[in-house]
């Protein structure tokens, strides 16, 4: 009898850097975070898997012509087909129909009703369990930047069963924290600048936010949000990497 796999539906479990120059992306992130990359077969091609220490946490892949360089977030679901159909019914648009990826898992691509791209994923193995303390170099948080936070909130709750809590940011308005299975999984941030496209912004946990921001800048990144403190959360910064893909870093406040 096959054992049931352990899944964490509603959690973002994988992140891919999609660019026009995988070698350049690898060099930048290996120097910045100490990641290393292993090639694994994926059909008739090789997949460049990101490893932080000994754990696979994401990958690098080549963008389609004309596609901007970016990070793609993968949301764990019990059934890609059912969740994909439900997302479409609640206003998402399809970029990739449900597809098998060898013996690794099944995924699909979507754009939410506010314009942010993301993927669904059902792995052929267990989802990695939540860590009591997120290791440095691993993913710490994921945040949706959108010009219609309430519309986005309604979508993710209806399509994927998230619940939420509201954090007041004073003049910055309300920040919505998405929960799944009672645990915080992601945030939704209302962007006021019409020049900022809707996107999911992943955060990497770093030991020293200021030092990592400085190092990123020395490697060619543009730090557009310099290090700043969020009381009770940590110290973070955001940047465009050496290829223009947005990403954030954070030194989380240690748990009690």
Domain-by-domain residue ranges, the chain?
12-123, 139-252
Q: Which numeric CATH code is attached to 139-252? A: 3.10.180.10
Other CB atoms within a 10 A radius of the CB of residue 256 amount to 3
Please determine, looking at this structure, whether the domain spanning 12-123 carries the CATH number 3.10.180.10.
yes
Nearest partner of 94 among 106, 82, 112, judged by Cα: 112
Domains 12-123 and 139-252 share a fold: yes
CB 155 within 8 A of CB 90: yes
Q: What's the predicted TM-score (pTM) here?
A: 0.94
Token pair in block for residue 132: 């009591």
Where b means 16+ CB within 10 Å and e means fewer, 146-171 reads: bbbbeebbebbbebbebebeeeeeee
Bridge-based pairing of strands 199-205 and 246-252 is: parallel
**In tens digits, what is the pLDDT along the chain, a chain of 256 residues?**
445 788 999 999 999 999 999 999 999 999 999 999 998 877 677 889 999 988 999 999 999 898 999 999 999 999 999 999 999 999 999 999 999 988 889 999 999 999 999 999 999 999 999 998 999 999 999 999 999 999 999 999 999 999 999 988 777 789 999 999 999 999 999 998 888 999 999 999 999 999 999 999 999 999 999 999 998 899 999 999 999 999 999 999 876 4
């Amino acid at each position: 009898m096959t054992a049931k796999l352990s899944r964490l539906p509603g959690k973002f479990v994988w992140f891919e850097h999609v660019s026009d120059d995988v070698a350049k992306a690898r060099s930048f992130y290996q120097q910045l975070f100490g990641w290393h990359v292993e090639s694994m077969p994926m059909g008739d091609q090789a997949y460049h898997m990101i490893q932080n220490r000994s754990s696979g946490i994401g990958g690098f892949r080549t963008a389609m012509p004309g596609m901007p360089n970016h990070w793609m977030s993968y949301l764990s679901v019990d059934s890609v087909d059912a969740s994909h159909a439900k997302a479409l019914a609640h206003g998402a648009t399809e970029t990739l129909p449900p597809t098998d990826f060898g013996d690794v898992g099944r995924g699909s691509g979507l754009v939410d009703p506010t314009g942010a791209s993301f993927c669904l994923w059902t792995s052929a193995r267990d989802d990695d369990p939540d860590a009591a303390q997120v290791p440095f170099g691993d993913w710490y948080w994921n945040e949706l930047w959108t010009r219609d936070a309430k519309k986005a909130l309604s979508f993710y709750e209806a399509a994927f069963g998230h619940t939420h809590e509201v954090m007041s940011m004073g003049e910055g308005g309300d920040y919505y924290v998405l929960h799944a299975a009672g645990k915080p999984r992601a945030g939704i941030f209302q962007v006021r600048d019409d020049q900022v496209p809707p996107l999911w912004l992943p955060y990497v946990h770093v030991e020293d936010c200021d030092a990592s921001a400085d190092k990123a800048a020395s490697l060619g990144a543009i730090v557009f949000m310099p290090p700043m403190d969020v009381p009770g959360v940590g110290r973070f910064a955001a940047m465009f990497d050496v290829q223009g893909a947005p990403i954030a870093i954070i030194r989380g406040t240690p748990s009690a």
